[in-house]
Structure 1
Amino acid sequence: MGVRRGAGLAATAALLLALAACSEPESADVPSPVTEKGPEPSSATSSPAVPVADPAHAVDPPGRRDGRLWSADILVQWDKPLDDALVKQISRLEGVAHTERIGLGQVSLENRVLTIAAVDPGDYRNFTRAEVADFQEAWDRVAGGELAIDRSVARRLQDEEGTIRLGVEDDSPTLHVGAYTPQIPTIDMVVNTAWAADIEMADDNGLLISTDGTTPATIRKPLERLVGDDVSVQMLDIASTLGLDPDAQLTALPTGGTLGSVVGVYRYRVLGGGRIAPEPSWVAANIRTEVVPILGAVTCHQDLFPQLRAALLEVQSRGLAGEINPDEYAGCYYPRFIANTTSLSNHSFGLALDLNVPGNGRGTVGEMNRDVVANFKTWGIAWGGDWRYTDPMHFELSEVKAVGG
């Protein structure tokens, strides 16, 4: 089944293709947003050049879209750069019409683990819907160092200046949102490859596959035999309906110094009821049950315990133990998706815990003692009450700190 190249103005309007506000003081020459209906189809040959917003993270502008569109049918993710010979073998499989290399990583933003793709804007755009692929200004902005993201995801995460910090550390890269565009299933946001090193992600560990007129599921088994057991192979036609491919072994490669070094490669399968089954070897190597002050026995990632124990000991020494109610502790390691989503949380890695749950619901100021909060932050444990959409019961590892003996 071919991909329809044309689309009317009404379809373009429905996609809400709009650019984010450009209020950065040092980017005064970045163009102001286009209207939400997007550009008229006839404007494709006359839209003005878009100034580069971030020269340090810019790639060559893609120019006008060239060549045909391809359906995004299968997404393959490795935990290392792709081998040229293997890519050639994949492209020769019966049913594979076209492939595109991309980088894939997972970034933790306010307890949501989202997938980011580092792409060549000129080539990758041909795997998107026609209205998106032909939205020239969006791809010029990605080439110029800005971020393309679905509007609903951006609304939760971007600040008043239209920027999003990609990571839990204070020095994580901060990108300006250049375009609101619908994304390929399972991908939440897109940057150009010049950002990959700063985000601490690969720029060549993923492969998009178009099967064109062939049903994607028919090549699943030969593809899986070719790439091996440790590689994630997702059918995107299923993901577009269910949110995720239930038959796939999925992979998370958290970016950034803290999560990347602590979590490593996280493979899992989807179970019913929002639950997941992490790879047993990862669980055996990383998850422990230990006794800590105030809370007693808890099950968490082994690398959280030194800082968690130090923070709770200091809470005790300062006479604040009564501010944490062990009966209102809601756990640390929970291998499941965030409720009503297909997004992992840091609880899936055992790197977050929920305290004093009844009085600290999402979207509220909460009742957490601020001295306790400050103490946790001192030990590299961030607080969800600081987020744009607050979660004051939630604490998570944000920085690995050495704890003395």
Structure 2
Amino acid sequence: MSNFDFAAAIAARPSGATKGQLVAAYGDPTQGCTRTGKGRFEPSAAFRRNMVKIPLSELPGFPDYAVPGTKISGVTFHRSVAPVFVATWAELHRRGLTGRLRTYDGATTYRHMLWNYSNPVSLHAYGAAIDFDARWNGYGIPHNQMQIDRDVVKCFEECGWEWGGRWGRSDGMHFQWTDPLPGVRQPEWRDAMAAGAPPKQRPTPAPPPDAVPGTHYLYGRCRVPYPKGQLVQEDAYRWASVATDAQGRVLLGPDGLARVVLFDDERATKKGLVK
């Protein structure tokens, strides 16, 4: 069981609803900064001193960086967030979930939201956010098409992180250290670690689509949306299956969400969907 005081960390966590609240907690990354183009900026040396790098040796099972061939030695956060992330990662590891994340896609990045100076400063610029599995859970991809592991999401939320996958304009790769944002419906397990870690349980991976007894599946061609300006991958057109009962009603998981599985033409051919 973790010795980290999640209750104290969650009590001290900033609201995140306004810039003033974020600046009070983390400092102002734009004060004395220099714009470097495409929504990015270089913060002052004074603000950079708030950042600390967590070595990978403290993050067992941490996924590879999304850019092939790029090696990283650690992950950078604001000094007040770094201990929270280390404790959260330790809890993920304790539950046997770290291997379910496929790629690390960045943490501290000095930029405005959507790389546009007209938008507010991103939580990444404060050193209070991290992205995983961006290729499969990019900005704007609908909730029911996200492929990020829901047990991983639940662990992050229990430890006090805000998940972008619950926002109206979803951002399923994104986790940030703030209070629940106004108007965002939160699960009952949000901040549960404030009451102490639950007993260790063996993870229960979701069975493959055709392995659930008595369950029927609907199959169809779909197009995976990509954020504006992002290069569309060759596999943007995929197939999808969703579990239903014998009457054709979509089955929902414990979190109230349908389980949609995306797959490519090769697998569709094996299923006899492509002639």
Between structures 1 and 2, the one with greater strand share? 1
Between structures 1 and 2, the one with greater helix share? 1
Q: Which has the larger radius of gyration?
A: 1
Normalised by the length of structure 1, the TM-score is: 0.34
